[in-house]
């Protein structure tokens, strides 16, 4: 019970810091403009005969998240290191894991709000046609898991540096790599570089792509292994964060 109270205290502190400054508002507005703007301008949402959000709306989310998710998470630990408050935070009766989870959940809360505010495009879809709600729900689940996975990667990077700019650049690069690994052009190039006996390595690298699992889920195929993949990325990133914090404390 004490653990939940500590996590809630850190969560409340970080949530207030997001919403008492323009950061969260600016990022949410940019996300809404980008997500719905891409859907209408490039996804041809109104011209499409298919009553689905897979290719018109959700397709663009990974490209948005690889930039905006680092923008949300880059300050979580970098700012603590820069101000020297990380030592103060960790000397309080709060275990490192409580602080890590509380901070991470506060950033996840920002993305939950951002996705919830995209409801007008869903309303428009139901107004124009009779879509299958299954792919819409699975698309939102995939989108949220992608966002918080990129966020977890950013949190891990921020635990190693006191510079938010450095954290942002490295996190964007890692999220971009995680997105591009599953693209056919990349896998075909890797297949040419590796001998046939090592084709399993190409398959493994493709499996590690965030985009591969996102696309399956956004089509309405909600498979447990895809959910477990995103959960594994998040847990691994948070474990790396804990290791970095322990190193800083030593």
Tens of each residue's pLDDT in the chain, 250 residues: 578 888 888 899 889 988 888 888 999 999 999 988 888 777 666 566 555 677 778 888 999 999 999 999 998 888 777 776 666 666 666 778 888 999 999 999 999 999 999 988 888 878 777 777 888 888 899 999 999 999 999 999 999 888 899 999 999 999 998 888 877 677 777 767 766 666 667 677 777 888 888 888 887 777 888 899 999 999 999 999 999 888 776 5
Segments making up each domain of the chain, as ranges: 2-249
| Cα gap 179→55, rounded to integer Å | 16
Which has the closest alpha carbon to 71: 119, 107, 41, 99?
107
Tokens of 13: 């502190």
Which positions ≥6 away from 159 have C-beta within 8 Å?
A: 77, 240, 241, 244, 245, 248
Taking the whole predicted model, whether its pTM rises above 0.85 is answered as yes
Instruction: Quick: pLDDT tens for 154-195.
Output: 999 999 888 899 999 999 999 998 888 877 677 777 767 766
């Amino acid at each position: 019970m004490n653990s939940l109270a500590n996590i809630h205290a850190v969560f409340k502190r970080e949530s207030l810091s997001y919403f008492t400054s323009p950061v969260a508002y600016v990022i949410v507005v940019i996300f809404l403009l980008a997500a719905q703007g891409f859907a209408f301008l490039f996804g041809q949402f109104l011209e499409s005969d298919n009553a689905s959000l897979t290719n018109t709306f959700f397709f663009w989310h990974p490209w948005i998240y690889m930039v905006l998710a680092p923008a949300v998470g880059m300050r979580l630990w970098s700012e603590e290191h820069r101000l020297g408050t990380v030592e103060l935070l960790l000397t309080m009766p709060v275990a490192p894991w409580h602080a890590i989870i509380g901070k991470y959940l506060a950033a996840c809360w920002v993305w939950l709000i951002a996705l919830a505010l995209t409801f007008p495009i869903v309303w428009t879809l139901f107004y124009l046609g009779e879509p299958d709600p299954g792919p819409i729900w699975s698309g939102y689940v995939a989108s949220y898991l992608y966002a918080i996975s990129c966020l977890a990667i950013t949190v891990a990077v921020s635990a190693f540096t006191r510079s938010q700019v450095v954290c942002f650049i490295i996190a964007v690069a890692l999220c971009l790599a995680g997105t591009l690994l599953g693209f056919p052009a990349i896998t075909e190039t890797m297949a040419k570089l590796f001998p046939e006996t090592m084709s399993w390595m190409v398959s493994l690298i493709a499996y590690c792509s965030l985009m591969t699992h996102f696309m399956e889920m956004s089509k309405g195929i909600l498979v447990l292994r895809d959910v477990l993949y995103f959960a594994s990325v998040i847990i691994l990133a948070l474990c790396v964060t804990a290791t970095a914090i322990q190193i800083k404390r030593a």
